Amino acid sequence: MPTLDSGGTTLYYEVHGAGPPLLLVHAISAGADMWRPQVDHFAKSHRVITFDARGVGRSGPITSWRRVLATMAEDVRALLDHLDVAQAAVCGVSFGGVLAQQFAASHPDRVERLAIVDSYSDSRPSTIGRAAWLLSVYAGASSNLLPNRVLQSVIERQYRRWPLAAETLSAAVARLRGTDALKTRLAINLVNFVPALGAASFPILAVVGEDSWPRSMRFAAELRSAVPRTTVVRIPDSADPSTLCQPARFNEVLQRFLDS
């Protein structure tokens, strides 16, 4: 089992295939296993890198309540350094989209292109709608401390339309570490990556499932308005994470972006 020591903890990672590097950053608490449909597809043409973020799956714990997101971004840098990858295409879904943007903001020279899936770039409460959304996120953060079996039941009901997503996310929740998940959730609630993305030069793709959480499409539209080189794609009959709800359609969208 390949692991890397980083910042006082250990990171589990996998590398599949050969070719241009493609780093995939998972949804909150889901781990590298959620990317199986993408690994199967993209390892035919890319060197696909997946990992469990600290606090998730086979990686070590989150060691502090402070600077969690920044520390995770340094974990990503350490992983790419360890694999001798100077620059990669980076794709993150949900929480992974936030972490991918934190990494891109901190190390723009390491990002060849950036795909943000079912995520957001600026969650500051600058409008009443944003403030209400942010309050609901903070209010729901403590749900990570519920018994895993309860969370599994919620996931299985929520994703019954998408059996692969239900099965994969239920398995991830069974291994969830409540306190680490809470630390992660709180760390990503209030962010603003728009200035850093605007100052960078790499292409940006924002993918949104049409049945994703409220405001998801608006967040993507706001990013495109602020950073015009952003391409926004909406995937029908899909929710967060679109990578599992509609994997074949998502793979087509990401493949087109990588090939462009």
For residue 166, give the CATH number of its domain.
3.40.50.1820
Give the domain extent around 139: 3-259
Contacts of 22 (CB under 8 A, 6+ apart): 42, 46, 47, 48, 49, 88, 89, 91, 258
Report pLDDT for 116.
98
**Tens-level pLDDT at each residue, the chain (260 residues):** 799 999 999 999 999 999 999 999 999 999 999 999 999 999 999 999 999 999 999 999 999 999 999 999 999 999 999 999 999 999 999 999 999 999 999 999 999 999 999 999 999 998 898 899 888 888 888 888 989 999 999 999 999 999 999 999 999 999 999 999 999 999 999 999 999 999 999 999 999 999 988 889 999 999 999 999 999 999 999 999 999 999 999 999 999 999 99
CB 122 within 8 A of CB 193: yes
Domains held by the chain: number: 1
Q: Are 207 and 233 in contact (CB under 8 A)?
A: yes
The closest alpha carbon to 19, from 78, 85, 80, belongs to 85
pLDDT of residue 129: 86
